[in-house]
Amino acid sequence: MARNSSGPPNPPEASASQGIPRIWPFRGTYYGWAIVGASFLATLGEVPVFGPVLGVFITPIEEELGWSRATIAFGFTAGTMTGSVASIVVGRLLDRYGARVVMAFAGLLISAALLGMSRMNEPWQFWVLFGVGRGSAITGVEVGASVAVANWFYRKRGRALGVKSMGQRIGQTLVPFGVLGMMSVSDWRMVFVALSGLVVLLITLPSVLFMRKRPEDVGLLPDGDLRRTGEGGKPEQPAPAAEASWTLAEALRTRAFWLIALFTTGTPLVQGSTNLHLVANLIDRGLPDVQAVSVLAIFGAVSALVIMPLGMLFDHVHVRLGAMFMAAVLVVAMLLISVADSFAEAVVFAGLFGLATGMRSVVETLLVANYFGRESMGTIRGFMGPFRIVSPMGPVFAGFVRDTTGSYGPAFIVFAGMAVLMLAAMFFARQPRRPEPEPGVGGEPGL
C-alpha cells in the first residue's frame, strides 16, 4: 500500500467500491453518476401520471365515459394532494433509509394504478387510482430522485440534477406522441396497460439495482473527491460534505424557508394546471389534434434542452436569481396562452413555458439543498409538502372555469398573478447564515 511520507496512508481506490453493485460496469467512474442515471430513468417513467400525458387521455375518456373536464381534473388534484400530505413521512424516510426502497415501491404503486385505470368506469375509481399513482410519483419518485442526487453531489449538484431532470422532460416530449400513436391502433384502456409495464422497467428495476443512500456509505465523497492528505496530515481537498446543513427546526426559524415554501407552492399550481389542460385548451381554440400535441412536444423539448445548461449555470450562479427569472418568464407565458389562438402564438408560448419548466426541474431542489444542506434535505422538503395542498386546486379551478365560461383564458390570467407572487417571494428570500454552526459542521452558506 502506497504511503504518504508525512501523513496517513492513501486508501486504494478499490476500497471505495464496497457496497457498489457488481453490475455497475464503469468501475473507474464515480458511482454518483449511476445514481443520476437511475434517477433519469425513474423520472422518465413517472410521466404517465403527469399532466402532459393525462392531457392526451382527456378527450377519449370524455367521449366514452361522459365525464366533464372538472371531473377528470379532480383526479389530478387528488394525486397532488396525496403527494403533498405523504411528503412529510416520505421525506423523513428518505433521510433515514435513502431512496432505494422508497422509489422502487413508488414505481410498483404507479404501475398498479395505471393497470387499474384500464378497467375504470366510475369517477371515484379514477380519482382513487390516479391519486395513488400521481401521489407516488410526486413524492416517492420525484422527491426521492432529487434527494438522492443532491446527496451524491455538492460542487456539481446543479449539472447532476439537470441530467436527472432531463428524464422527465424527455418523457413529457415523447410519451404523449407514443400514447397518441397507440390510440390510433388500440383504445385508451390498452394504452394504460402498456404504460403500466413501462413504469416497472423504468422506475422499480433501476431503483432496486442501482440506488444507494449517500457516497459516505460506500466509502466515497460527494462529487467523487478522494480522501487525500498532504504534509502534516492536512487535507489537500476540503470535503464538500462540510457544507452547512440545517435541521428542520433551524430552517423553520428563517424567513427564507417560508418564502421558498410559497414559491414551491406556486410552481405546481401554475405549471401543473397548464400541463394538464394545454392540449384541450388548444383544441378548443381550433388547433388540430396533431398541432396541439406538437405544442406540448415543443415545450417538452425546449425544457429538456435547457435543463443541462441551466444546471451547469447554477453551479456558479445563485439559484435565487434563477428562481426570480423563472417566475418572470411564467408571467409572460401565462398572459400569452390566455389569448393565443394560432399555432404560431402557441409555439412562442411553448418556448417560454418550456424554459420555465426546465428551470423548475433544477430550481426547486437546489433551493432546499443549497439553502439548507443535504443532511436533512428530505425532511425539510417533505415538511414543505403540505403547503402545496392549495396547488392541486389549480387544475380543478381551470376545468371549472372552462366548463362554465367555455374558455380557459380567465384561469390563465389568475395563474399569471400567482407567478407574480412567486417572483416577489424570491426577491425577498435572501439566503440566511447560521450564527452558530453545530460542532463538526464546517462552512456557512454563501450569498
Q: DSSP string of 246-314?
A: --HHHHHTSHHHHHHHHHHHHHIIIIIHHHHHHHHHHHHTT--HHHHHHHHHHHHHHHHHHHHHHHHHT
Cβ neighbours of 29 (radius 10 Å): 11
User: Which architecture does CATH list for 32-218+240-428?
Assistant: Up-down Bundle (1.20)
On the question of pLDDT at 436 being above 70, the answer is: no
Q: Which of 247, 273, 268, 243 is nearest to 364 (CA)?
A: 268
392, containing H or E segment? none
Which pLDDT score is estimated for 25?
85
The one-character DSSP state at 66 is: -
Retrieve residue 182's grid coordinates. Answer: 397507440
Burial of 281 (0-12, 13-18, 19+ CB in 10 A): buried
pLDDT surpasses 60 at 435: no
> pLDDT-based confidence at 12, cuts 50/70/90?
very low
202: cell is: 423504468
What is the reported pLDDT for 13?
41
Q: Is the pLDDT of residue 196 over 60?
A: yes
CA dist., res. 371 & res. 32, Å (int)? 21
Q: How far apart are the first and last CA of the chain?
A: 43
Quick one: pLDDT at residue 427?
A: 95
In single-letter form, the type of residue at position 279 comes to V
Under a CB-based contact definition with an 8 Å cutoff, are residues 222 and 154 in contact?
yes
pTM across the whole model: 0.73
pLDDT in tens, 269-298: 898 788 778 888 898 888 888 888 888 788
Cβ(282)–Cβ(59) under 8 Å? no
pLDDT at 442: 39
Is there a contact between 388 and 268 (Cβ–Cβ < 8 Å)? Answer: yes
User: Is the distance from CB of 352 to CB of 336 less than 8 angstroms?
Assistant: yes
**What is the tens place of the pLDDT at every residue in 160-171?**
988 998 888 888
pLDDT for 351-374, tens place per residue? Answer: 999 999 888 878 988 898 889 987
